[in-house]
Structure 1
Amino acid sequence: MTNAVFPQTVFTTQRLFNDYSANDMRYGDISGDRLKREFGLKNISTVVDPYTFTRLTAFDNPQSRFAGVYRSTHRGGTVSNKECARLLFKEMLTCSLPYSFVGPYKYLINQMLKHFQRSTGTPFSNGQINNAYHRKLRSDHTAKNTRSIMQEAIGLFIDYKSKGIPQDKLKDIKSAVEGSILPKFDSLVLDKINGMGITIHNIHATKIDIISLHVSERNWKASVRFTGQDHVGLDIDDIRKKEFNQFQFFKIWFVLQRFEKFGFRPFLTNMEAVIDMEGHY
């Protein structure tokens, strides 16, 4: 029976990498009338009206006791498309503070918003994101976590006589991983305030490679690479969810991305972590 030769991919999610056809990767495709009528995105900012490019004052702020005094008349001056977008991005950054104020990752949202504002659509990667991904994999001790199940599966299918894993057993490792819970930044408390929940939260696609495997008489060691990819964009289903449409941050984001007069391009965030695993007979 032939042993597997590494490096080799042993698992890939059904959700594709580089899936630019996904709804959350669309941009500049929705009219202002539809944003207001279908999604209720009318008062999304306390600073500027993105539909009329008009600065807002206390008389326009729905939360102000002066709101509505002048009915629909705006008291501020008009601004350019570029200036309106700049003001909205600045407001987004302010709105992100409650989700990102502790720990080493609290400034990540700043960098990602700048990347979003450049509107290049190019993938984003960052050493801190890789560190956070590595830490998430190492610190996850919940039932069915992917790292533990991957380690157990490798140990289960080691052939100590041939000093490797039979190639046909890789499908069994894949089946074991399919029953695991893939990593995501959605802890009940920490990820909601350390910047990771708002910058990554879910991970759209995951790939796992065994880079190397060494088997001795009674022990084995392996290096396993986890590759994740997230979509930094909002789709129509997202903005209809209460967890998104009740917060100003996400309402502004959706308008900046999907409004036909802006069309800032969403992008992919790539992350990678190599985990060393070992076991014995």
Structure 2
Amino acid sequence: MAALQFPCTIFKTQNRMDDYSAEDMRCGDLTEAQLKSHYRLDYISDRVDPYMLTRRSSMDRPQSMFCCNRRGAGEKISRQQCAMMLFDEFRSLSRNFSIYGPYSHLIEKMIIHMQNGNGTPFHDMSLDTALKEHILNDKSKNSTRLRLHEVIKKNIDWHKKHYPAKEKDKLKEIILGGKLPKFDRFQDDFNGMGITVHDTWATRITIKSLHIYNDHFRAVVHYKVQDHFGLDSDDILKKKFSQFHFFRIWFVLQRYNQFGFKPFMTNMEAIIEIKGAHK
């Protein structure tokens, strides 16, 4: 009976890594008319009007009785100034979604990267730490780590001290039956991970090595996860997003053909150990 050789990639999502054709990776593809008519993005910011390229005052806001009579009356600014002011407001509003914790700083770093990074991939050690903690702290029945522990333990050929190659598919099946690490828990709404990553686009899981000694085993497993820091049409058309200026500014900075700031890939990875005994 042949042994499974390592390293061995045991799981890949249908969504592929580095998929720049995804809808949320589009940028600079919408006109002012489209943003207003289809997405209802007339009022974007309390600081500037990105269509008229003017500063706003408190009287320009929708709740002001003077709002509709003052349109276009604000101080003219350049497109570059407008973008800078929108990014400043974007960062300021992000604090409502990253109130506490070791990851609360990430959203501002990622907004700065959107402003200056020209679409290059983003990586930060804090993301790796968050991913590893998520995997290790998941004690639920859907935990991919715990499910892998059980299937490895069950299918090891303890006499020959290896994992049979013919049982490889069971590793993928057990992951499919669980839940991949995502930052959609209640605490992620406030700790900065929900706004920076939340759901994920692509995941790849690789067993780097498997050592079997006496009646014990030790597997080293590598998780590679990728998300897109970008918004698609479905995002902004949902009321839970469109009601916030934060997301309206984000969408306009990304998709308005007068700005077109590029979204980017967010990369994170974690290496964990899975240990167990025959009995």
TM-score, normalised with respect to structure 1 = 0.96
Partner of 1:79: 77
Q: Distance in 1 between matches of 2:212 and 2:110?
A: 42
Which runs of 5 or more structure 1 residues have no equivalent in the other structure? none
Amino acid at match of 2:237: R
Q: How many angstroms apart in 1 are the aligned matches of 2:63 and 2:142? A: 45
Q: 2: CA distance between counterparts of 1:5 and 1:175?
A: 18
Q: CA deviation at 1:243?
A: 2.1
Say what the alpha-carbon RMSD is for the aligned residues: 1.2
**Kept in 2: contact 1:119–1:264 (CA 8 A):** no
What is the CA distance between 1:66 and its match in structure 2?
Answer: 4.5
- 2:6 corresponds in structure 1 to 6
Distance 2:71 2:41 in 1: 19
Aligned equivalents of 1:263, 1:15: Cα separation in 2: 24
Q: Does 1:209 align with 2:211?
A: no
Q: CA deviation at 1:161?
A: 1.3
For 1:209, the aligned partner's letter is: T
Secondary structure at the residue paired with 1:275?
strand
Residue 238 of structure 1 is aligned with which of 235, 240, 259?
A: 235
Do the aligned residues in 1 keep the contact of 2:52 with 2:72 (CA within 8 Å)?
no
Percent identity of equivalent pairs: 44
Does the residue aligned with 2:38 lie in a helix, a strand or coil? helix
Shift of 1:201: 0.5
Gaps of 5+ in 2: none
Asked if residue 54 in structure 1 is aligned to residue 51 in structure 2, the reply is no
For the residues of structure 2 that align with 1:41 and 1:143, how far apart are their CA atoms?
A: 43
C-alpha deviation, 1:119, in angstroms: 4.3
Count of equivalent residues: 278
Question: Are the counterparts in 2 of residues 60 and 74 from structure 1 also a CA contact under 8 Å?
Answer: no
Residue type matched to 1:4 in 2?
L
* Aligned pairs (5 A) from 1:229-268: 229-268=226-265
Counterparts of 1:158 and 1:72, CA distance in 2: 74
Residue identity in the other structure for 1:194: N
Task: Choose 239-248 or 30-39, whichever is displaced more.
Answer: 239-248
For the 8 Å contact 1:230–1:268, the answer to whether it is kept is yes
Q: Secondary structure at the match of 1:271?
A: strand
1:184 aligns with 2:182: yes
In the TM superposition, what is the alpha-carbon distance from 1:118 to its structure 2 partner? 1.1
Matches of 1:207 and 1:88 in 2, distance apart?
A: 36
* Residue 122 (1) aligns with residue 120 (2): yes
TM norm structure 2? 0.97
Offset at 1:43? 0.6
Whether the aligned pair in 1 keeps the contact of 2:54 and 2:76 (CA below 8 Å) is: yes
Report the 3-state secondary structure (helix = DSSP H, G, I; strand = E; otherwise coil) of the residue aligned with 2:273.
strand
Aligned twin of 1:67: 67
Q: Is structure 2 residue 159 aligned with structure 1 residue 161? A: yes
> Structure 2 counterpart of 1:184, which letter?
K
CA contact (8 A) 1:223 1:276 kept: yes
Q: Which amino acid aligns with 1:62?
A: P
- CA distance in 2 between counterparts of 1:156 and 1:66 reads 72
Partner of residue 224, structure 1:
221
